[in-house]
Amino acid sequence: MPSDQSSWLVTVPLNGDTEQLNHDIAPKLDALAKGYARESLAQIDVPEFKTGTLDLLISLSEELPKTDTFFTQATAKIVDTIRNLLNNDPQKLAQHVLVNDRPVDAYLLSGWKWNASRYSPQKSAKETIDTLSKEMTSIDNVMKSKLNNYNLAKGSLVQMQRKKTGNLSVRALADVVSKDDFIDDSEYMETVLVAVPKNAVKDWNLKYERLASMVVPRSSKQIATDDEYTLFSAVIFKRVHDEFSQKCRENKFTLRDFTYSEQAVAEQRAELQKADTAEKELWTELLRLARTNFSEAFQLLVHLKVVSAFVESVLRYGLPARYTALIIKPQPKLSSKTLGLLTSHFAYLKPASEKSRKGKETDATEIAGEYQAIMEQEYYDFVLVEIPWIVL
């Protein structure tokens, strides 16, 4: 059963009027739900690629699932990147995940055509797949590089912001203290900063003068407070710094290693501003690149699906390689009925498909399962290739 989270690309041999297939199917789909076929059905022509040998086609058929998986994953990763950049806002996502400035459904169901100017149908199916793969690999590599650059910039900014927004025992103090909180340059004395748990403030006030032998009496001054800690300053003689630090640890007071410098404070602020600006610039660049590359990647994915449908059609229906196709977007909860409708409508293909299937079974017996992967694929009387709904 094909997924109900995908559009279906169904190919059949081209017989007479290319418009007739659409006209025949649309009323039947309309019977499932009003207006269903009008918005969820389109007919396209499959290019006639050079086919090469039967062994080459079978080899392509075996390799295509792996290529298909890579294309799908690469495209989905771009969508995930956009989604994360937009904080998982579905409305904003819909505005950016477009193909040639159109929604995905409009691209698929409003006159889709093979891009012959970029991918000449005069080339073989293998050459076309190789070209598509090179382009998708290039897109994937560029996205990985740009995403890595953005993540590094964002990580650096987050780390700086955490230092600024943590509690007083760990946060940066440049924006908490001022020059007036410190004594002027002294040869013998220094101002120290201590983060005291809020439930230990009383202990600090009682003990700080006796934490070392040379603490200036009544020098403690409350500078700031938060939900967990209160930041105090005190003046001590430099020679007892280590002793004072040890006593602070024993009493679970956190001595902050901070030396006030107007230049250092200015540098910290400038560094944070620089990191914030860099993150915003890379965010904008990555979003713009992801939007462009999604459009390119989804087009590559659909072109690969068409080549895959062509290869399977030749193996199924044989030559001459002239096929037409329908793109159908199954309506939710009607995928099973839609498949049944297609099976009934294309019942005339059953003899050919049975013959093809028997041929494959005979070949497989003769070559000891060499093409077992193809035989194990889910089988219908017509070729059906799924185009996943990348954007959900």
Nearest-angstrom CA–CA distance, 305 and 63: 13
Most confident of 2-6, 35-39, 185-189: 185-189
Compute the average pLDDT of residues 370-388.
Answer: 68
Whether the predicted pLDDT of 368 surpasses 50: no
As a whole number, the mean pLDDT across the chain is: 86
Q: Which single residue is written with the structure tokens 């993150």?
A: 279
365 burial (CB, 10 Å; 0-12 / 13-18 / 19+) is exposed
Three-state secondary-structure class, residue 42: strand
Instruction: Provide the residue type at 141 as one letter.
Output: N
Q: Of all residues in the chain, what percent carry a pLDDT higher than 90?
A: 55
> Hey, what are 165's tokens?
């927004």
Beta strands at 323-328 and 221-225: parallel, antiparallel or unpaired:
unpaired
Q: What is the pLDDT of residues 79-134, one digit of tens each?
A: 999 999 999 999 999 999 999 999 999 999 888 999 999 999 889 999 999 999 99
This model's pTM is above 0.85: no
What are the sequence ranges of the domains in the chain?
Answer: 6-154+279-388, 179-259
The strands making up 229-237's β-sheet, listed across from edge to edge, are 221-225, 229-237, 189-197, 254-256
Nearest-angstrom CA–CA distance, 107 and 42: 11
Look up the CATH number of domain 6-154+279-388.
1.20.1460.10
Look at 46-50, 86-90, 222-226, 262-266 and tell me which has the smallest mean pLDDT: 262-266
Nearest-angstrom CA–CA distance, 338 and 324: 19
Query: Which class would CATH give 179-259?
Result: alpha beta
